[in-house]
Structure 1
Amino acid sequence: MRITCVGGGPAGLYFAVLAKLADPAREITVLERNPAGVTYGWGVVFWDDLLDDLFRYDPVSAARIWEAAFKWDEYEVRAAGKPVSFLGGYGFSLGRHRLLDILGDRARELGVTVRYEDDLTDPDQLPPADLIVACDGAGSRVRDAAAEHFGAQVETGRNKYIWLGTPHVFRTFTFGFEETEAGWIWFHAYPFADGASTFIVECTPETWSGLGLDRMDPATGNARLAQIFARHLDGAPLDDAGRGWLNFRRVTAERWDHGNVVLMGDAAHTTHFAIGSGTKLAMQDAMALADALPATSPPAALLPAALEQYEHRRKVALAPLQRAARASSAWFERMPDYAGLPARRFSYALSNRRGEYPAWRYLLHMSTQGAVARTMLRWTLSARRWNRARRRPLRAAVG
């Protein structure tokens, strides 16, 4: 079976790994438009649920991801004029560049052909393949070439955001809110390496234009943001990834397959960055598609049923996360409405922006803001993380 993955992001590379593990006889090629080692973005975040899945599907690449990941505890909420608040939990983060290196190396070890600087301009020029996996992002050219069939819809969010990086290392996942003369502006930041953190800045369009950010060149705009958030950055600069200010684009597709073409990752769906699930969902798409394909190369007549099974499984799994992402992005669009709340109530509103928590979570939040109770919660969660890690096959080769 010949498989071509258009797009060398986490979805395409991880699917190539799993498909090759399932049947080494498959001829798999990954086409990536960027040069090797070049990617957009800084770090990605994930949690135990994805790690459990990764170890179940390929312990080798999972162990390498685990070893490279930055481990952080709890969430910190800093809002101007309020005491710092804390949210329970822990997570993991990893530089996107490092993640792609790990997955690319693993794919090549298994015999996958990875071709860089292959900028597809016409999907009709793709080499012959039994299956074409379109994992070329939210602006997928493969999907758009058959736009009427896939029924893709794009909804543009109201807020402006910019994806930045900084050499300042935050000790944990941090939300920071500052009030300016033009209104509130905030950041989502997390460490992903010993000397780097992701720093996503977001604000309403009124604040964006009121601060003059719409008229500033990138260097001036980044310097202005570094000035606004100086107390959080300890004087460190901010760098952007060359994309500038954006509005979030929520992509959905009515159908995910068309003949021998199937959508995956952001080409099929996007979720707002505020819930940090984009990489997780892309890699879980890869798992589901690998599961749907028979272990040995199927006759062409069986492919439509396999692709339909994949689409149904993933749409069912995505539905609650898509609802949560909508609620989360809507909360941030209304963020100024919550700014007057006391610190603990504000941080709880941020934590419960999806509207899913039972009443006892509010009591737990309020009771764990003190140092002693917070330390006990962190110990409990650290024990949970250790116990889950202990059950995974960490002795797999990490290379």
Structure 2
Amino acid sequence: MKVVCAGGGPAGLYLAILLKRQDPSHEITVHERNPEGSTYGWGVTYWRGLLDRLHAHDPESARAVEEHSVSWREGVAHVRDLSTRHRGDQGFGIGRQRLLDLLADRARALGVHLEYESELTEPPADADLVVAADGVHSALRGRHAAHFGTRIVPGRNPYIWLGTTQVFDAFTFAFTETEHGWIWAYGYPYSGEHSTCVVECAPETRTGLGLDRADEGEGLALLEKLFADVLDGHPLIARGGAAWPRFGTLTNRVWHHGNLVLLGDAAHTTHYSIGAGTTLALEDAMCLAAALADHVTLPEALAAYGERRRTELLSAQSAARHSAQWYENLPRYIHLPPHRMFALLGQRHSPLLPYVPPQLYYGLDKAAGRLEALRRLKRWLGPRAARALHARRG
């Protein structure tokens, strides 16, 4: 096939890698509108499950990604002058630019053509497959927005995506109370020198603090003061301005139109607070590559891909929606003791949590956890007790 991909982000590059591995005779070109080596954002986060899937699909790029990632196993929450720390699943962080460089190098090595500072606004007539991996504001998708059923629902809270030279030793949450309401940050390392730091607050808090009127330097200075305890003297860094957008949740009713198919953020977005954007984009690429290998005709493959991914995304989209709402209703939880608030922060994906009093939900969750622990112990002891009994009878 002749494959043309608009967008040189993780989804587009990884799809090109997978298709070239399936059939080296594919002619694949990736067009990226930005210059090589320039990207938005700082670091991206992912979990062990994604790394295992990357190793299964392309061990060489997976090894490179793992080698250049940092990891953590703890989460810490700072509320006023109190802190609580919990051990959890292993998380990973990698610089977005480093990830793109690794995938680009692998794609080139396989024979993929990469064209930078090249933006596609309409599908090439001679392509067998055209992939729109050009982000939330996809130009290719926009040509057929009515067909795709594109819908963007804005969230309530403004946020800003920053970097810092403070290298956090855990996934870090910091909640600061001001006279205009609460403001909070999420931070995680992505290299030995830098961390990502996302700051969020209610609209009235941003206005009350003057962050809507401050220039970049004034805004960063104020945020550094508000989060001085966790930054420990390190600066916050803005890249590409210091805008405070509201996150838009994007969905599409269908994911293909003729030989044009949507991938990654062009197809869907999930709120940044669940840290799944890059993972879901890479999983899109895995699913599309598999569908193209498993189906005889292109229409069958694209239809199967869209149906499968829309189904698989339901749980992530639900989790993202409830996670965003948890932060939008922060006063409901913030006055709990920090360890309880942190426990409910970990349960923010639950559709029941908004409707159950927080203290009651915490108690029920603890009780359910103890019951599950007893069930696991019983399952573990069962075979051993039986063997011991048989041994005694023998």
TM > 0.5 = yes
2:160 matched to which residue of 1? 162
**2:23 matched to which residue of 1?**
23
**Does the 8 Å contact 1:73/1:89 carry over to 2?**
yes
Query: For 2:177 and 2:294, how far apart are their aligned partners in 1?
Result: 56
Instruction: Provide the residue aligned with 1:312 in structure 2.
Output: 307
1:208 aligns with 2:202: no
Is the contact made by 1:133 and 1:261 (CA closer than 8 Å) also made in structure 2? Answer: yes
**How far did residue 218 of structure 1 move?**
1.4
The answer as to whether partners of 2:294 and 2:301 remain within 8 angstroms in 1 is no
- Aligned equivalents of 2:325, 2:249: Cα separation in 1: 12
Alignment pair present for 1:246 and 2:245: yes
Contact 2:46 2:275 in 1 (8 A): yes
Pick from 319, 325, 337 the counterpart of residue 320 of structure 2.
Answer: 325
1:74 touches 1:172 (CA, 8 Å); kept in 2?
yes
Instruction: Give the TM-score, by structure 2 length.
Output: 0.88
1:173 equivalent in structure 2:
171
Query: Structure 2: which amino acid aligns with 1:192?
Result: Y
CA distance in 2, matches of 1:30, 1:365: 48
CA distance 1:127–1:217, shift in 2 (3 Å): farther
Residue 49 of structure 2 aligns to a residue whose secondary structure is helix
Structure-2 residue corresponding to 1:263? 262
- Find the residue that maps to 2:162 and give its secondary structure: strand
Distance 1:166 1:42 in 2: 9
Question: Who is 1:387 aligned against?
Answer: none
Aligned to 2:366: 362
Matched residue type, 2:90: Y
**2:344 matched to 1:349?**
yes
Structure 2 CA distance for aligned equivalents of residues 246 and 310 of structure 1:
31
Post-superposition shift, 1:123? 1.4
Equivalent residue for 2:129, pick from 128, 131, 134: 131
Corresponding letter in the other structure for 2:143: A
Question: Using the alignment, how far apart are the partners of 2:179 and 2:86 within structure 1?
Answer: 27
**1:96 has 2:111 as partner:** no
CA displacement, residues 23-75 of structure 1 (integer Å, 9 cap, x when unaligned): 10000000001111100000011111101110110000001111111011111
Larger Rg: 2
SS at match of 2:82: coil
Report whether the alignment pairs 1:190 with 2:168: no
Q: Deviations over 1:138-175 (max 9, x none)?
A: 11111011111111000000001000000110011101
Whole-angstrom distance in 1 between the partners of 2:293 and 2:203:
49
Question: Where does residue 75 of structure 1 map in the other structure?
Answer: 75
**Distance in 1 between residues matched to 2:97 and 2:311, nearest whole Å:** 30
What does residue 143 of structure 1 align with? 141
Cα deviation digits, residues 162-195 of structure 1 (max 9, x gap): 0000011001110110001211000010000010
What is the total number of aligned residue pairs between the two structures? 360
Spell out, residue by residue over 1:274-318, the C-alpha distance to the aligned partner (whole angstroms, 9 max, x if none): 10000000000000000011379x6xxx11110011011111111
Deviation readout 1:339-390 (Å, 9 max, x if unpaired): 2111111111111111279978636999xxxxxxxxxxxxxxxxxxxxxxxx
Q: Is the partner of 2:83 in helix, strand or coil?
A: coil
Partner of 1:383: none
Gaps of 5+ in 2: 354-360, 371-394
**CA offset at residue 236 of structure 1?**
1.0
What aligned pairs does 1:2-21 form with structure 2 within 5 A after superposition?
2-21=2-21
| Structure 1 position 83, deviation (Å) | 3.5
Q: Which amino acid aligns with 1:5?
A: C
Cα-to-partner distance string for 1:238-288 (whole Å, 9 max, x where unaligned): 111215211001000001000000001010000001100000000000000
User: What secondary structure is seen at the aligned counterpart in 1 of 2:62?
Assistant: helix
Question: Secondary structure of the equivalent of 2:200?
Answer: strand
In 2, Cα distance between equivalents of 1:196 and 1:52: 25
| Amino acid in the other structure paired with 2:263 | M
1:235 maps to which of 233, 239, 251:
233
1:289 partner SS: helix
Indicate the RMSD between aligned Cα atoms, in angstroms: 1.9
Residue aligning to 2:381: none
Cα 1:180/1:207, change in 2 over 3 Å? same
Q: Highest relative contact order (Cα 8 Å, sep 6+), 1 or 2?
A: 1
Q: Aligned partners of 1:362 and 1:123: how far apart in 2?
A: 54
Contact 2:163 / 2:236 at 8 angstroms: preserved in 1? yes
Q: Secondary structure at the match of 2:190?
A: strand
Q: What is the distance in 1 between the residues matched to 2:28 and 2:115?
A: 11
Unaligned runs of 5+ in 1: 367-399
Instruction: Measure, in 1, the Cα distance between the counterparts of 2:217 and 2:118.
Output: 30
* Alpha carbons 1:87, 1:351 under 8 Å: kept: no
Give 3-state SS (helix, strand or coil) of 1:83's partner.
strand
Question: Aligned with 2:167: secondary structure?
Answer: coil
Cα drift, residue 128 of structure 1: 2.5
Determine if contact 2:76/2:83 at 8 Å carries over to the other structure: no
Measured against aligned partners, the alpha-carbon deviations of 1:312-345 in whole angstroms (never above 9, x if no partner) come to: 1111111111101100000010012212111111
- The aligned counterpart of 2:37 is 37
